[in-house]
Structure 1
């Protein structure tokens, strides 16, 4: 454990130059650290302010936390000094978590869920994670000839947007902690169910609201990276505080903020995702892998950060490769859309990234979509920030010609501070 954590300890102690987009996001959310009721928020600031691009930031308290983890393992976080600091800051702000709650934390190893899209198996984290949203959307979209529509045409974007809306209608209801409620994952991912749901999509008009379906027979700041070794073993990893700095609360002497994932619970009585003790909320972070459905061979390891944008990003990026033959970097570079439900106006909003032509925007508005466009500059991070590694160039001619090599291809999203590196 010490060997694994030592590079992070060195960075925290010696400092690192803050990258451009990290600085932008830090400043955007600094108010949470600067709040009067957050006395230790200053630990993640420099002279009370978020660091500038290129400014060196040191985090000695986080280094101390990592050292305790290296020495004590899990007990170094869920018991002892760090645990007490976490509980103290929560209780001082009206929370009810106690030391016994932290000590009783348990990790569960889960089996990924999968769907087959035209011979490619796409693997996602199961509920309570929202990976099922991406798989639902792919199953629905399999019922349309997307390539014939053309990439990012109004017709293509309309169908994808509606498929995402249908998928969210299901998962925002059914996706919950499977230890507490019955989540019909298998039935939701069945191809007949997807065919039925695809029939709800009006090819000419946007639908204002979709209800969750009945799969039973009648009677959201995130960090993602991926690594693939020379043997083809892959790691698809994601982690998040949620909502920028999460709660913004910093435990004394620990060097980190507390997340606020509980915000994704429903407070509606009877809802499968309703808040309850020892229950996990609907969770947005979803690392993913894709394999050949016949051979089981790894094809790509990928992820797209960005809260509720994540399953939408997975779908758009995968289709860019599968349907339109884009390499990983091209698949990440092209403009994207983001669908989100605005409770203030009780309607779905569709944001379009700079680069989608004005005539496409106008055509989507004509179909009844509420459109925000163009989204430019650093605000483009709302469309997710992805990373991809593929083994071979299977995306050139999927299911037509075999991959011509085992060369690894990688792409890193221009909307984030990231890069693709060989080692």
Structure 2
């Protein structure tokens, strides 16, 4: 029999970490909280609050600043948001995802030899959504003028000391940047030198972007002089971007470089307010965006996990890790086949996918002591009273729906042809997060993305174009709901989160990191709810990542995107005993020093009337509270 002290040491990594010291302090605030991916951008949020703005104003200011800093996104990307309105006590979902342009069809890309739309360049671009999303949020739920909110971003566009992370990213991508004349002009500030990108701390000037932002403010000012109210004046800036001279130059620059976006594409696009999807987990209402994002994956996973006693298993015990991994794989298999743009037929079976009965059926598939490398999509249609319309497609793909024959194998080769470094880069690609809250009760959670470096800038606008086209599929056998089509939104990884308890805000949380987003957000949520960690501890705690899913971003060949069954990323601090148990279950292990992802979050302490902020220790994320 082993000595009790040995067992205690072995179990040490499995226990909640509330006694462990954080690398970063918890943020405390009574009046407001502003958290995002870069220190300067968090300062922009703080400055906006100090002007009397609310959480929506501050979130818009942080969004504008992060775009200007190229914090793995830019102004031409896309914005997804959840907003809690204290006046209505409702959560609003904002869909500001761009759409596929005119001419973007499966045949178009297949004729060019692609299995997926390209990663980079003009043909990777959907219509820009971030400007429209920002202006819509500000006009409808903010209090300040556009001029006030974008002032920090404009000062930065006029010149700010660039951080080393961004500067080095430009240098690494300079060969691609040189293909695009407008990008080369902006980013390569030392042409012909050994290092052509800016140096860390160098004052980085973006004259074209400053001119574009100035035009938006001019449109607002002109409308106010004409007697327009605040909202209409902000929407005048919107009109100038999507139908005026900015739109004309954006389209000209895009098409000159081989892109497909037309002025009609920009004029037809609109941000949309939607009902968020939600499930109740042990009395907590958890909200996500609709199925044009991967957000419902987290909701499906929570429904499945309700069937297990996670607290009894213990934090990061072998059984807990195994149960999480299998649960995530079940949810991601459904994501990979069923999620898509709800505004285009066919209609996704979300009622079935989010039903508790379906989750119970899926939970029963989890084998207690072994990884199942053959997990595939389930059949949610009976839980909607319908018959599955795509059984033939699934059969052709190699998935058997009969639950009595669950030992099936997808026809794809499970060996991925890309390098490990490429694969991890694709898995974690792009994005930042923005979290804001104020004493009036406004709460905002945003996961903006797109137009990351190396970015193709559209003409003389200074605006990098999105690369989100690559999240479409060209073959209905992969996902009949997400086949590229003009005017359609791709199914994206971007997934802000919000939770309410007793009818009041409980958590606002988001993370960057491609397909790992809802993996890390799920574990963050469980860290708080099941293992009693505070918001900073939960943001820093060691997570696991599964690679047993189809990548949403990456190479243009099917082999680049295929799942890697049984591959499991763990913290390098995982005890040897846990490692050995997982190997016995059939897992292939890899390790990293930080596996939590750059999670940013706000917890609402109603007992004391305050807010707790968690700002990730993973990268350059930063928060300020007051």
What is the TM-score when the length of structure 2 is the normalising length?
A: 0.61
Separation in structure 2 between the aligned mates of residue 14 and residue 347 of structure 1, nearest angstrom: 44
Q: 1:58 aligns with which of 173, 182, 205?
A: 205
Q: 1:245 aligns with which of 453, 456, 464?
A: 453
Distance 1:89 1:364, change over 3 A: farther
Q: Secondary structure at the match of 2:623?
A: coil
Q: CA deviation at 1:186?
A: 1.8
Q: Secondary structure at the match of 1:226?
A: strand
Q: Secondary structure at the match of 1:330?
A: helix
Distance 1:40 1:320, change over 3 A: same
Name the counterpart of 2:358.
193
Whether the aligned pair in 2 keeps the contact of 1:309 and 1:383 (CA below 8 Å) is no
Q: 2:544 aligns with which of 333, 337, 344?
A: 337
Separation in structure 2 between the aligned mates of residue 358 and residue 70 of structure 1, nearest angstrom: 58
60-69 or 184-193: which moved more?
A: 60-69
Name the counterpart of 1:173.
337
Counterpart mapping for 1:123-142 below 5 A:
123-142=287-306
Q: CA deviation at 1:31?
A: 4.2
Counterpart mapping for 1:2-401 below 5 A:
2-18=147-163, 20-33=164-177, 35-48=178-191, 49-72=196-219, 73-180=237-344, 181-217=346-382, 220-241=429-450, 244-245=452-453, 248-269=455-476, 271-292=480-501, 295-340=502-547, 341=549, 343=559, 346-348=563-565, 349-372=567-590, 374-376=591-593, 380=594, 383-392=596-605
Separation in structure 2 between the aligned mates of residue 39 and residue 168 of structure 1, nearest angstrom: 38
Distance 1:363 1:46, change over 3 A: farther
Distance 1:82 1:53, change over 3 A: same
Q: CA deviation at 1:43?
A: 0.4
Separation in structure 2 between the aligned mates of residue 325 and residue 177 of structure 1, nearest angstrom: 36
Report the aligned-residue RMSD. Answer: 2.2
Kindly provide the CA deviation profile for residues 293-317 of structure 1, in whole angstroms up to 9, marking residues without a partner as x. Answer: xx31111111111111111111010
Q: Which has the higher contact order (CA 8 A, sep 6+)?
A: 2
Q: CA deviation at 1:25?
A: 4.4
Q: CA deviation at 1:59?
A: 1.9
Name the counterpart of 1:400.
none
Structure whose alpha-carbon radius of gyration is higher: 2
> Which portions of structure 1, spanning 4 or more consecutive aligned residues, are displaced by more than 6 angstroms?
none
Name the counterpart of 2:131.
none
Q: CA deviation at 1:30?
A: 4.4
Whether the aligned pair in 2 keeps the contact of 1:32 and 1:245 (CA below 8 Å) is no
Q: Secondary structure at the match of 1:299?
A: strand
Name the counterpart of 1:409.
612
Separation in structure 2 between the aligned mates of residue 371 and residue 28 of structure 1, nearest angstrom: 29
Q: CA deviation at 1:185?
A: 1.5
What is the TM-score when the length of structure 1 is the normalising length?
A: 0.88
Whether the aligned pair in 2 keeps the contact of 1:265 and 1:273 (CA below 8 Å) is yes
Kindly provide the CA deviation profile for residues 205-264 of structure 1, in whole angstroms up to 9, marking residues without a partner as x. Answer: 11113211111117642121111101222111221016x437x21122222311111111
Kindly provide the CA deviation profile for residues 125-156 of structure 1, in whole angstroms up to 9, marking residues without a partner as x. Answer: 11111110111111111111111111112211
Separation in structure 2 between the aligned mates of residue 53 and residue 361 of structure 1, nearest angstrom: 40
Q: CA deviation at 1:46?
A: 3.0
Q: Which runs of 5+ in 1 are unaligned?
A: 393-402
